[in-house]
Amino acid sequence: MNYSDYIKLGFKRHDTDDAVEFNQTGYGGFYLSFDLNSKASIQVCYGELNKPKLYVKKRKEDSCYITQLTDEQLINLTKI
């Protein structure tokens, strides 16, 4: 999928202020996110638009389960 496909599905853009990336490329970067609920979201970063990932917050922890999604899975999840 490309950038405009994600935007059409309702993903929101978040610009990052990554100093390391900026020093290497002159660009600070971004990621796109789609919240499924308060504990789960789909995110994809600018350098890996072909690798969307599902993030699900673990109970009583400050970490997430992370699973890579296919385009079909991503589209189906955004239509729930």
Instruction: Give the pLDDT confidence of 12-54 residue by residue, as tens digits.
Output: 999 988 888 788 888 878 999 999 999 999 999 988 999 999 9
Number of domains in the chain: 1
User: Can you give the residue range of the structural domain that contains 29?
Assistant: 3-78
Tokens standing for residue 16 = 């990052």
The HSE-up count of residue 72 (CA atoms within 13 Å, CB side) is 0
Predicted TM-score (pTM) of this structure: 0.86
Q: What is the DSSP letter of 62?
A: S
Q: To 5 degrees, how large is the angle CA 2–CA 15–CA 48?
A: 35
Q: To 5 degrees, how large is the angle CA 13–CA 66–CA 80?
A: 65
